[in-house]
Amino acid sequence: MSEKVLSAKKNHYLLLVPFLSLASFILLYLFRHVDDNRLTSWKWTFAYMDMVWFVPLLVLGLTLAYALSLLKYEQYKPALTLFLSSFTVSAFFWSQPEVIIDVSRYFTYAKHIELYGAGQFLSQWGKSMSPWTDLPLVPFIYGLIFKLVGESRIYIQLFNSILFSLTVVLTYGTGKILWSDDVGFYAGAMIMGIPYIFSQVPLMLVDVPTMFLLTFSVYSFIKALEKGSAWILLSSFVIFFTIFSKYSTWMMLSVLVVIFFVYMLKNVERRTTDVEREIKKGERRSCLLRGLSIAVITLFLTGIALLLTSDVILSQIAFLREYQAPGLRRWGESFVSTFLFQTHPFITLSAIFSLYVAIKKRDLKFLIISWLIILIVIMQIRRSRYVLVLFPMFTLMASYGLNYLKNSDLKRYIVSSIVAFSLIVAFFAYLPFLKTMSEENLRQAGTFLNTLDAPVARVITIPSVASAVNPAVSVPVLDIYTNKQIIYQYYDTDVPPLEKIRESPLRFTWEYKNPEYYKNSANVNDRNTAVVVISNGKNELPDNIKEKLKGLEQKIIFNTTTGIFRYNPVVSVYQPASIY
């Protein structure tokens, strides 16, 4: 076949990429009502989207993606390229509010460390501090950041963006060790082709740090089996930290057993000479000793930690069985949503194709990256936030499947188009939508409080029987955004009966305990105090609240809402009229 014919054929395949990209977007848009994601569903994020400008924007993005693919970017310091590009993109999402109410718990834990110290936090975990279903590692790190650098959300976002970018680099490293530079690089790049992930990076939750730790556990364990030495100790500590990041990782760390057996089997392949058999026998013995060393060190560290916290851990596990496990079936989201709408369909199709490639090649190493995905499908784990930590393994599957293509220009353009497509969705659909959620009112109110002369903000919350959320948990969320001293007294007289909230995913909000630091009213008087009223929606103020607000002038009201969710915090700020 002549060179001219080959070139024409290659260009023909390249032209298919933007066509299929646009076709996939149109299909997803037309069937957006199928997306049942609880945060960034396409039926919400694209509800009022003007296709007259969005489709041309998508075409422009795919055109720029093609221009970028001509640079052969994967050849220029791939790890640094992946780190800087992923960090830069994630930083653009720092402006979104904390849209998941669970953040109230993690901020409360972190602030406790900031004010009272790490020792007091650890001694009171599970006692005066209710741990709910959380493990202490990530909030402990957040608290150390507050204590060492300062209580500001930007430091947490910076930390999480760094962990996210390191996850991208570790994904590249894992693919490189197992197969090749290309498999690793494209897998790392395709993490940026998952728009949902960018809605999570800026949040003060445990999911992004857990994703980093799980990916690091896989990478460091592989390195330890291959290299030994200091990697054995590093791998043991990383696995130990992963165990105490989130309970769901206990099941996910089963991937380490798969890695161990894959490496052991790799070293029993039949060889033609005695010398080759002896070499393989020595490698198998080294692999066994390294794996056992990691297991012993990790079990020793974990055993000590579990002995010190056994009463708390056992009660949490019992609660997880009673509440969380059945709850996952009620609160889940479909795999169609997670793997078509919230990722990119090209990633999913390539991951599915990778199964065929691995079977055809009889590649045992493929079990390492596919194990966790197979596990969540078998166990029907359908919550996007729980699947998020596995996205690096998923993109490794996709990259493995994509690597079957021999045309490097085509592979590069497919990956570029995936990233361009997803970033446009994340920037121009997800981010604007997230900024219209009612949690934005808390962010704006906190920012506004910072402009006032009053050093103290007294917060009043108004319970609503129509709300599934206890408004008291909005107080720590408001505290994230303001440098004012917050005074708040929580009264639990309006807590609904347990039967009504027993199965609610937001039950923890009704088991809220007011932190001691909000009860401190020293040096507070009416003249240096702003009053903040948080209600669910634009409800009429009760008479007793109106009485408390006598003599105060309403400074501003923040009432942004999507009208979609049951909890819509509206925030009003008051000050004595004489203060102006």
How many alpha carbons fall within 13 Å on the CB side of residue 536? Answer: 15
The percent of residues in the chain predicted with pLDDT above 70, rounded, is 92
Give the Cα separation of 578 and 580 in Å (integer). 6
Average pLDDT in the chain: 90
Q: What's the whole-number mean pLDDT along residues 390-401?
A: 98
What are the CA-CA distances from residue 439 to residues 90, 427, 444, 560, 572 (Å)? Answer: 20, 19, 9, 8, 13
- State the Cα–Cα distance between residues 10 and 2, nearest whole angstrom: 13
Is the per-residue pLDDT at 355 higher than 90? yes
CA count, 13 A, side-chain hemisphere, 210: 28
Q: Band of the pLDDT at 554, cuts 50, 70, 90?
A: confident
- CA nearest neighbour of 475 among 463, 461, 465: 461
pLDDT of residue 436: 94
pLDDT for residue 382: 86
Within 10 angstroms of residue 501's Cβ, the number of other Cβ atoms is: 18
Share of residues in the chain with pLDDT > 90 (%): 69
Strands across the sheet containing 485-487: 485-487, 456-462, 529-536, 569-576, 552-558
Helix (H, G, I), strand (E, B) or coil at 533: strand
Name 361's Cβ contacts closer than 8 Å, sequence gap at least 6: none
Query: Encoding tokens for residue 206?
Result: 């445990």
Distance CA 111, CA 121 (A): 10
Which tens digit of pLDDT belongs to each residue from 112-148? 999 999 999 999 898 888 888 899 999 999 999 999 9
pLDDT, one tens digit per residue, over 180-229 is 999 999 999 999 999 999 999 999 999 999 999 999 999 999 999 999 89
Half-sphere exposure of 378 (CA within 13 A, CB side): 7
Residue 268 has pLDDT above 70, yes or no: no
Neighbours of 339 (CB within 10 A): 22
- The residue length of the chain stands at 580
SS3 552: strand
Q: For position 526, what pLDDT does the model report?
A: 66
- Quick check: 378 pLDDT over 50? yes
Rounded (10°) CA dihedral 510, 515, 516, 518: -100
Res. 236: pLDDT tops 90: yes
Is this prediction's pTM over 0.75?
yes
Tell me, what's the pLDDT at 6?
44
For residue 331, pLDDT over 60 is answered with yes
Position 580 scores a pLDDT of 43
Q: Is the pLDDT of residue 10 over 80?
A: no
Q: 552-558 and 485-487 as β-strands: parallel, antiparallel, unpaired?
A: unpaired
- Torsion sign, CA atoms 491, 494, 499, 501: negative
Asked if 65 and 417 count as a contact pair (C-beta separation under 8 A), the reply is: yes
pLDDT (0 to 100) of residue 523: 58
Q: How far apart are the C-alpha atoms of 344 and 323, rounded to whole Å?
A: 32
> Token match 């004595």: residue?
576
Q: Count CB neighbours of 349 within 10 A.
A: 17
Kindly indicate the confidence band of residue 387, based on its pLDDT and cuts at 50, 70 and 90.
very high
In this structure, what is the dihedral angle of CA atoms 248, 249, 250, 251, given to the nearest 10 degrees?
A: 70
Overall average pLDDT of the 452-480 stretch: 87
- Indicate whether 263 pLDDT > 60: yes
The tokens for 96 are: 């979104």
Structural Rg of the chain based on CA atoms: 26
pLDDT beyond 50 at 5: no
Q: Give the span between the Cα atoms of 490 and 477, in whole angstroms.
A: 15
Phi first, then psi, for residue 485 (nearest 5°) are -75, 125
For 556, list phi and psi in degrees, rounded to 5.
Answer: -165, 155
Contact 419, 85 (CB under 8 A): no
- What is the arithmetic mean of pLDDT over 558-567? 86
pLDDT of residue 274: 65
Please report which confidence band the pLDDT of residue 579 belongs to, taking 50, 70 and 90 as the band edges: very low
